[in-house]
C-alpha cells in the first residue's frame, strides 16, 4: 500500500508510472467532488495531494479545505493557457503547486534565433502542412503576450516532463523491473546497455503535427542511417504490444525530439536519456521561444536553432564529445527530477 495517494479527475494520465516510480505517489481516480470527499475520508494522507489537468474541477475543494492542506500537481496545459494557471490563485488551502510547463522567461534572442534556424532549415519551401515562417514568428511572439496574462500568486515550482506509462511499462518488462522501481538509477545503466545496438544514427517515431516538425524531419531524412516512422495517435498513455518505439530508442545513437504543437517539451527527451541515447532537440523552436534546460543551449548559436546545422555538427563529433554531451544532458534532466522529488518528499513525507 502506498503511503502517498494523489487524487485525479482523469481515469488515465500519461504521468501515472512516472509519479509512482519516481515520487512514490499512486493516483486514485475520482469521478466527482462527491466521490473525492468519500474516498479522501478513508485516507490518512496529509496533506492532500491532487494531480490534475483541470484545476477548475477542484475549485469546490480548494475553497473548502484548511489553510496549506493541498499539494497540487498541475500536468498538461501544453498551450500555456493563462486561465488554467490563474485558476489556482486566491485559495488559502493551496500549500504548493508543482506545474508542468511552468512559464519561463522569453528572451529576444530566443525569438530571433529560432526564426533564423527555421529559414536555414528550409522554412520558405513548400510543405504539406499549413503555415509559414511568418505565421510561426507571430505565434512565437504572441507567447510573450500570453505569459504577461499569467499571474501566479501562489507558491509554485516546475514539475519535470518525465516519461510516459507506455515507455515505462515496456522498458520495465524488457529488463525485468518491479513496477515501482525508479528508472533513473545508475544501477540500471548496465542492464540497459546490454539491450542496446546501433542500427541507426538518427531516429524518430511519432505523430506528424505541424509545419515546423515537417521541415525538421525533412532534414533528418537526408541523413545516412536515419529512420522516421509516423503514428496516427499519441501512444504514451495506454499499454499495447508494439515495441517499435522502445526498440528504436535502444538501437539509435541520436533520438529526434522535433517541435510539438505548441511547445518544445516532450517525454521523448527523458526516455532517450534513460535508454542511453542522446536526444536531438532545438534549444528553442519557432513556436516556443521560452527558456528551458535543453542540453543544446550549450551549442554554437546557429546549431541551437537549426536542425540542419545541428545534424551536420553532431554527425561529426567523436565518441568522447558524444559521451560528454550525453552525461551533461542526463545530469541536468535527472537532476531536475530529483530536485522535484526532494521537495515533494519534504512536503508530503
Domain ranges, ordered by start, for the chain: 4-104+147-161+337-348, 170-332
Q: What 8-state DSSP symbol labels residue 92? A: T
Closest alpha carbon to 195 in 250, 252, 244, 246: 250
Say how many Å lie between the first and final Cα of the chain, rounded: 15
Band of the pLDDT at 139, cuts 50, 70, 90? confident
**Each residue's pLDDT tens digit, 270-314:** 999 999 999 999 999 888 889 899 999 999 999 999 999 999 999
Cell of residue 321, nine digits: 564529445
Euclidean distance between CA atoms 61 and 47, whole angstroms: 13
- Asked whether the predicted pLDDT for residue 247 surpasses 50, the reply is yes
Mean pLDDT of the chain: 91
Band of the pLDDT at 207, cuts 50, 70, 90? confident
- Asked whether the predicted pLDDT for residue 225 surpasses 90, the reply is yes
Euclidean distance between CA atoms 90 and 97, whole angstroms: 13
Band of the pLDDT at 7, cuts 50, 70, 90? very high
In CATH terms, 170-332 corresponds, of 3.40.50, 3.30.70, 3.10.450, 3.30.450, to 3.40.50
Buried b (16+ CB within 10 A) or exposed e, 158-189: bbbbbbbbbbbbbbbeeeebeeeebbbeeebe
Euclidean distance between CA atoms 257 and 216, whole angstroms: 10
Q: State what percent of residues in the chain have pLDDT above 70.
A: 95
Phi, psi of 230 (to 5 degrees): -105, 135
When pLDDT is averaged across residues 115-142 and rounded to a whole number, the result is 90
Band of the pLDDT at 236, cuts 50, 70, 90? low
Q: What 8-state DSSP symbol labels residue 106? A: B
| Residue-level pLDDT at 145 | 87
**Each residue's pLDDT tens digit, 91-126:** 999 999 999 999 998 888 888 999 999 999 999 999
- Asked whether the predicted pLDDT for residue 237 surpasses 80, the reply is no
Burial class of residue 305 in the structure, from the number of CB atoms within 10 Å of its CB (0-12 exposed, 13-18 middle, 19+ buried)? buried
- Asked whether the predicted pLDDT for residue 33 surpasses 60, the reply is yes
- This prediction has a pTM of 0.94
Closest alpha carbon to 128 in 218, 230, 222: 218
Q: Looking at the domain covering 4-104+147-161+337-348, what would its CATH class be?
A: alpha beta
When pLDDT is averaged across residues 218-239 and rounded to a whole number, the result is 82
Euclidean distance between CA atoms 78 and 245, whole angstroms: 22
- Asked whether the predicted pLDDT for residue 234 surpasses 50, the reply is yes
Among the residues of the chain, which ranges form H helices?
Answer: 16-23, 33-40, 59-62, 82-86, 109-121, 133-148, 165-174, 189-193, 211-221, 244-250, 267-274, 301-305, 307-314, 319-348
Same fold? 4-104+147-161+337-348, 170-332 = yes
- Asked whether the predicted pLDDT for residue 45 surpasses 60, the reply is no
Euclidean distance between CA atoms 257 and 80, whole angstroms: 19
When pLDDT is averaged across residues 217-221 and rounded to a whole number, the result is 95
Euclidean distance between CA atoms 330 and 332, whole angstroms: 6
- Asked whether the predicted pLDDT for residue 197 surpasses 90, the reply is yes
- Asked whether the predicted pLDDT for residue 1 surpasses 50, the reply is no
Range from 45-54, 130-139, 186-195, 231-240 carrying the lowest mean pLDDT: 231-240
Cell of residue 49, nine digits: 495531494
Q: What 8-state DSSP symbol labels residue 66? A: P
Amino acid at each position: 500500500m502506498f503511503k502517498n495517494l494523489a487524487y485525479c479527475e482523469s481515469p488515465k494520465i500519461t504521468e501515472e508510472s512516472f509519479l509512482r516510480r519516481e515520487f512514490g505517489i499512486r493516483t486514485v481516480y475520482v469521478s466527482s467532488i462527491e466521490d473525492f470527499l468519500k474516498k479522501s475520508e478513508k485516507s490518512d494522507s496529509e496533506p492532500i495531494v491532487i494531480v490534475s489537468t483541470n484545476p477548475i474541477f477542484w475549485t469546490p475543494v480548494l475553497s473548502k479545505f484548511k489553510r496549506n492542506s493541498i499539494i497540487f500537481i498541475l500536468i498538461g496545459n501544453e498551450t500555456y493557457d493563462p486561465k488554467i494557471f490563474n485558476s489556482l490563485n486566491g485559495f488559502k488551502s493551496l500549500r504548493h503547486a508543482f506545474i508542468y510547463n511552468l512559464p519561463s522567461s522569453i528572451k529576444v534572442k530566443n525569438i530571433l534565433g529560432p526564426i533564423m534556424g527555421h529559414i536555414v532549415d528550409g522554412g520558405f519551401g513548400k510543405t504539406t502542412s499549413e503555415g509559414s515562417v511568418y505565421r510561426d514568428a507571430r505565434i512565437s511572439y504572441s507567447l510573450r503576450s500570453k505569459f504577461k496574462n499569467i499571474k501566479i500568486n501562489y507558491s509554485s515550482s516546475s514539475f519535470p516532463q518525465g516519461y510516459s506509462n507506455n515507455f515505462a511499462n515496456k522498458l520495465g518488462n524488457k529488463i525485468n523491473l518491479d513496477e515501482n522501481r525508479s528508472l533513473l538509477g545508475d544501477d540500471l545503466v548496465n542492464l540497459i546497455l546490454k539491450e542496446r545496438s546501433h542500427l541507426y544514427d538518427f531516429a524518430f517515431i511519432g505523430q506528424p503535427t505541424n509545419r515546423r516538425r515537417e521541415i525538421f524531419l525533412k532534414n533528418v531524412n537526408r541523413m545516412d542511417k536515419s529512420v522516421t516512422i509516423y503514428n496516427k495517435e499519441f501512444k504514451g498513455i495506454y499499454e499495447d504490444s508494439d515495441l517499435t518505439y522502445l526498440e528504436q530508442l535502444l538501437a539509435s545513437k541520436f533520438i529526434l525530439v522535433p517541435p510539438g504543437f505548441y511547445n518544445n517539451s516532450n517525454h521523448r527527451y527523458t526516455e532517450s536519456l534513460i535508454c542511453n541515447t542522446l536526444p536531438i532537440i532545438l534549444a528553442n523552436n519557432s513556436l516556443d521561444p521560452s527558456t528551458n534546460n535543453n542540453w543544446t543551449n550549450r551549442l554554437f548559436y546557429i546549431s541551437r536553432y537549426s536542425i540542419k546545422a545541428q545534424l551536420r555538427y553532431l554527425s561529426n563529433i567523436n565518441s568522447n564529445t558524444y559521451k560528454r554531451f550525453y552525461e551533461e544532458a542526463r545530469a541536468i534532466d535527472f537532476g531536475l527530477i530529483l530536485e522535484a522529488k526532494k521537495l515533494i518528499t519534504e512536503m508530503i513525507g
